[in-house]
Amino acid sequence: MSERQDEFSNENIQVGDQVKATVVKLEDKQVVVDLGAKFDGIIPISELSHLHVEHTNEVLSEGDEVVVVVQKVEDEAIILSKKANDSKQAWEDLEKKLESGESFEAKVVEVVNGGLVADVGLRGFIPASHVEVYYVEDFSEYKDQSLTVKVIEMDESRNRVILSHKAVTEKEMTDRKKEILNKIEAGDQVEGTVQRITNFGVFVDIGGVDGLIHISQLSHEHVNKASDVVSEGDKIKVKVLSVDRDTERIALSLKDTLPGPWEGIENEISNGQVIEGEVKRLVNFGAFVEIKRGVEGLVHISQIAKEHIGTPQEVLKEGQKVQVKVLDVNEKNKRLSLSIKEVEEDRESSELKQYQKDQEDDQAFQLGDLIGDQLKNYKK
């Protein structure tokens, strides 16, 4: 008998003992191990793991050293459990993780009613409400996936371990939000995703924290509905207008990242050019005429009509289409001076010139006829 056999015998191995063993044979429904005792030890397949096992080779291989707990001591064999030892170690480990708040990886092994079962050395349950920060309708895609979780509740007497992936995600989101709030500054341009559209604007996720684009900051043009400009899920570039770190509020602008309607206006129109516009507003000193979306010019009251008028309303009305002549365009100051009167004067001048030309042509024609008649009489 070897030294190990002298040290261990069936008589001094007791139920509940934790002992080391070496795998000597893998069978379909059990594993034979060498304890150094008079008889070999047996680990039934049901005692290999808390998970379902089809064959013993899924868990152990010949020659493996394994720590087991003695379940029964019989005359012909010693019944052992690897699962019991693993469970004991897992409880101790999970208790430490619960106290420290540590997060760790766990594989989802089963989808059940109300949530997920994860392998944490024993069966850990992730309730449906603790899987994600958002509602999940179908959990089937989580099977065999690894999730980062933390222990939120334990009761060994009830064999109950509750895990949460949502708690980990919320902590990550909080940390990321703090980081962004600490480093972002007014004037920064960042990319974001449209999360939610409301009557007053749009909430945009800029990497873990939401900022608000007020409806007035969506476009250079007037916007009736935010959904006319963006849709949920859109990736957009925005400018940070302000950051309030105390209230965690960030004001954003989409408009400030877009070319303004005045940008390049001096390349589009020039002094003396005649264009069509729409009368937008009438004021005591003149009329504001829109020549393109977002670009309005002033027709001073003195430039509305050739004759003297008391108010612009005497000859114009809002919504009216008019021809205007560009007197001056200033892109930098966003100013545009226009004239309706000069269009009329130019038209009349052109008509007069055409009339005079027609008269001259008519006189030349009549003179030609007269000379022609005289030549005919002379030949006779």
Give the pLDDT score at 74.
81
Report strand pairing: 249-253 vs 210-214: parallel
Residue 25 has pLDDT above 60, yes or no: yes
Which residue segments constitute the domains of the chain, with CATH numbers given? 3-85 (2.40.50.140), 101-169 (2.40.50.140), 185-257 (2.40.50.140), 261-380 (2.40.50.140)
**Which residues pair with residue 38 across a beta bridge?**
none
Q: Which amino acid is at 202?
A: V
Write out pLDDT tens, residues 38-49: 778 999 999 898
Residue 268 has pLDDT above 80, yes or no: yes
Give the pLDDT score at 371.
58
Q: How does residue 67 score in pLDDT terms, banded at 50, 70 and 90?
A: very high
Task: Work out the percent of the chain whose per-residue pLDDT is above 90.
Answer: 66
Residue 3 has pLDDT above 80, yes or no: no
Q: What is the mean pLDDT of residues 227-237?
A: 95
CA–CA dist 168, 151 (Å, integer): 10
Q: How does residue 14 score in pLDDT terms, banded at 50, 70 and 90?
A: confident
On average, the pLDDT of the chain sits at: 88
Q: What is the per-residue DSSP string for 173-229? A: HHHHHHHHHHH--TT-EEEEEEEEE-SSEEEEESSSSEEEEEGGGS-SS--S-GGGT
Give the pLDDT score at 375.
57
Residue 8 has pLDDT above 50, yes or no: no
Non-local CB neighbours of 57 within 8 Å, separated by 6+ positions: 26
Per-residue CA distances from 332 to 222, 271, 278, 294, 336 (Å): 22, 16, 23, 15, 11
